[in-house]
Amino acid sequence: MINSKQKIVISRSLTLSARKQSGFTIVELMIAGVLGIILTAGVIQLFVGSNRTYTLQDELANVQENGRFAMIFLENEIQKGGWIDDFSLQVPPAIDLNSSSDGVTDAIAVSYALPPASRDCNGAIVGDGIIINQFYVGGTSGDELLCQGNGGGAAQPLIDGVRDFQILYGVETNSVCPDGAVNQYMTRDQIVAAGGNLVIVSARVAVLLASENDVLPQAESHTHDLLDTQLVTNDKLAYRTFQQTIYMPNAYYATAGNPEIAVTCLADQVGS
């Protein structure tokens, strides 16, 4: 038989056991849920921010790489302008103005002479060795910097993401005794309008490149200055402008290196 004291002990034990097995209240569950949502939102925000930063850095790195490659390639080609491998041949103009153009985006055609059966920028063989490589913006997407050689074949893309391509030419205006110094920078159309009596000794190149994907949280309007033009953009892309002045020593030597011109200039200086 269970006496009264034992009943009291058993009752207290059952009460304590019930208390230990009781769950969380609704208020406690709501507080825990709110804290969990706050922590989850913070983690998501951190992830989104890190991902956006990574995407921006990756896109800018691609733009930077394309820009540097374009400048190096163009510098290497434009510096060849007016070069002649065989002095028995006629010296070609450093810039073929007939194949160059001014427009929304410009085009530049560089010419030089190499041994017969040399290759143009597309790898095509040019029988007489007179190379004319034309650079312009086009392609399937309309934003590729292309090189078209005169040896035949389709133009080949160098880089993509090109939003603008502008050229100015440094000209030597002293046709009697040229000193190789640039007296003025002009467009292709201005040089043609001047009658062709100017000697081109350098080229100033500007390229505006855009990222492949959107990287900004919202569209931003920017005005980009490229030599003699301006371009306004309003989107979420990242832009970088690359500009370089490239001297063409062969173009100068073709004129100033002429012995007859050198003697005439020297005589004029002595006489004065």
Residue 57 lies inside a defined structural domain of this protein: yes
Residue 116 lies inside a defined structural domain of this protein: yes
Residue 55 is predicted with a pLDDT of 72
Residue 66 is predicted with a pLDDT of 95
* Rg (the chain; Cα; Å): 36
Cα–Cα dist 250/146, whole Å: 24
Residue 244 is predicted with a pLDDT of 96
Chain segment 6-28, per-residue pLDDT in tens: 555 555 565 555 555 556 677 77
Continuous segment of H or E residues that includes residue 90: none
Chain segment 214-264, per-residue pLDDT in tens: 988 899 999 999 999 999 999 999 999 999 999 998 887 766 555 565 556
Residue 29 lies inside a defined structural domain of this protein: no
DSSP 236-266: S--EEEEEEEEE-HHHHHHHHT-HHHHHHHH
CB atoms within 10 A of CB 111: 21
Q: Do 111 and 118 form a contact (C-beta atoms < 8 A)?
A: no
Residue 8 lies inside a defined structural domain of this protein: no
- Who has greater pLDDT, 136 or 86? 136
- Who has greater pLDDT, 15 or 195? 195
DSSP 2-13: --HHHHHHHHHH
**CA separation, residue 100 to residues 38, 189, 203, 207, 235 (Å):** 61, 9, 12, 16, 31
Residue 251 is predicted with a pLDDT of 80
Supply φ then ψ for residue 153, to 5 degrees: 95, 165
Residue 14 lies inside a defined structural domain of this protein: no
Residue 154 lies inside a defined structural domain of this protein: yes
Confidence of residue 105 (pLDDT cuts 50, 70, 90): very high
Q: Average of pLDDT values for 127-153? A: 94
Predicted confidence (pLDDT) at residue 128 exceeds the cutoff of 70? yes
Chain segment 39-79, per-residue pLDDT in tens: 777 767 765 666 677 677 888 999 999 999 999 999 999 99
DSSP 110-138: EEEE-STTEE-TTS-EETT-EEEEEEEEE
pTM beyond cutoff 0.85: no
- Domain interval for residue 98: 51-262
Residue 22 lies inside a defined structural domain of this protein: no
Amino acid at 163: R
Q: Average of pLDDT values for 114-132? A: 92
Cα–Cα dist 168/23, whole Å: 80
Report which of 63, 40, 47, 53 is spatially closest to residue 217, judged by C-alpha positions.
53
Number of domains in the chain: 1
